[in-house]
Amino acid sequence: MALEIHNMAGHLIRRLNQISASVFQERMKAQGLTMTSVQFAAMNAVRAHPGMDQARLAGMIAYDRATIGGVVDRLESKGLLTRRVCEQDRRARLVSLTEAGEALLDELIPVVRSFQEDILSGLSEAERAEFLRLAAKAADGGNHLSRAPLILEKKS
């Protein structure tokens, strides 16, 4: 018997998050890795913007600024990131990928791309594209409601 929550956005989004996290962890384990989706997102953002500070990193991946340091700590302890003090603002920590981080990311990107369809396995290719379009629109529309909003750079 279906419950009212089974047709509520919040419940369905939580279930999809569970599915996504499960698939991600299963595939990382199959690669012999202990990598979280947040760590992967952080590495991906750092590659795109080497030398950015941790606060900017948190905004780029919509992650809580108070806990991004722990993510960076774990990546640094694995030898995947380096962190240094910013000369202009001694409170800021600038992060960059190491050679090992670059190499691992090169290995991981095709793996992560390969299982995206599995996360939405009940949808056709056209439906997946429409779902992603609508999910991005909903996330953008509700960004201001998040404790950790996505903060993208403005195009100049």
The answer to the question of residue 33 being in a domain is: yes
Q: Tell me, what CATH number does 109's domain have? A: 1.10.10.10
Q: Supply the pLDDT for residue 89.
A: 80
The answer to the question of residue 20 being in a domain is: no
DSSP per-residue letters across 29-79: HHTT----HHHHHHHHHHHHSTTEEHHHHHHHTT--TTTHHHHHHHHHHTT
Q: Supply the pLDDT for residue 1.
A: 83
What range does the domain containing 32 cover?
A: 27-118
Residue 76 main-chain phi, psi, to 5 deg: -70, -40
The answer to the question of residue 54 being in a domain is: yes
Could you count the other beta carbons within 10 Å of the beta carbon of residue 38? 19
The answer to the question of residue 128 being in a domain is: no
Average pLDDT over residues 67-77: 95
Q: What is the pTM of this model?
A: 0.90
Q: Supply the pLDDT for residue 66.
A: 86
Residue for token pair 């595939």: 27
pLDDT digits (tens, 9 = 90+) for 8-42: 999 999 999 999 999 999 999 999 988 999 999 99
Single-letter amino acid, residue 92: A
Average pLDDT over residues 85-102: 88
The percent of residues above 70 in pLDDT, for the chain, comes to: 98
Above 60 in pLDDT, residue 156? no
User: Is 97 in contact with 79 (CB distance < 8 Å)?
Assistant: no
Structural domain count of the chain? 1
Q: Taking CA 73 as the corner, what is the angle to CA 15 and CA 95, rounded to the nearest 5 degrees? A: 100
Q: Supply the pLDDT for residue 91.
A: 78
Question: Three-state SS for 117?
Answer: helix
Q: Would you call 104 exposed, middle or buried from its count of C-beta atoms within 10 A (0-12, 13-18, 19+)? A: buried
Q: Taking CA 23 as the corner, what is the angle to CA 17 and CA 29, rounded to the nearest 5 degrees? A: 130
Q: Supply the pLDDT for residue 154.
A: 64
Q: Supply the pLDDT for residue 24.
A: 97
